[in-house]
Amino acid sequence: MVVKLHLYLAILCLVTLSTLGVAQPATFENNIFKIPQGAALIKGEALYYSDIQMAQDGEGNFTLIGAKRSSLAYVDSVSVILTKSLPPLVSLFVRGNKSIPCVELQPPAIFKSSSAFTVALAETSPDPAEICIQMLAPFETQIPLDITGLESGTYSVNVNGTKSTFTF
């Protein structure tokens, strides 16, 4: 699949931390741009990727040559926590299930539009050498939202297809 870089800039919006807490920056070597993790908002759906590779051609354009789509966690509920502080702070309290106990949650990818926040909450890939019981593993997590510069009003949030709203 050949895709120009300008069509996939959204995929570059997230460079994250590994499970060890060591930063994994994007690298460019031998005309290959490697991005450890990224997210894209495509037709309103938040998607999460790992091991993204883009090749640079002689004109400086990039073509996507590989990416592994990450599984999104199952989200049961999203509650919005709005503080009465100045400035107000907004966080999402998310409850759900990981597909198996042997995976971890990835850092959330947050997309902000005029009146909506869309969040992709993905799982790490299981270690192929690890034996893991096939059962859901509950999780709870809190995700802060950056509301800097937003006007007062009502906003929607969507975390992996589970929706809520808040007004401030």
Do you know the residue count of the chain? 168
E strands, the chain, are 27-29, 32-42, 45-56, 62-69, 74-82, 90-98, 109-112, 116-120, 137-145, 154-159, 162-167
* Residue with tokens 């800039």, as numbered in its chain: 9
Whether residue 49 is predicted with pLDDT greater than 70 in this model: the reply is yes
Average pLDDT score over residue span 80-105: 91
Output the pLDDT for position 97: 96
Of 166 and 22, the one with more pLDDT = 166
The backbone region for 51, taken as left when phi is positive above 0, alpha when psi lies in -120 to 50, beta otherwise, is left
Query: How many C-beta neighbours within 10 Å does residue 63 have?
Result: 15
Whether residue 83 is predicted with pLDDT greater than 90 in this model: the reply is no
Q: How confident is the model at residue 68 (pLDDT cuts 50, 70, 90)?
A: very high
Phi then psi dihedrals of residue 11, to 5 deg: -70, -20
Of 163 and 23, the one with more pLDDT = 163
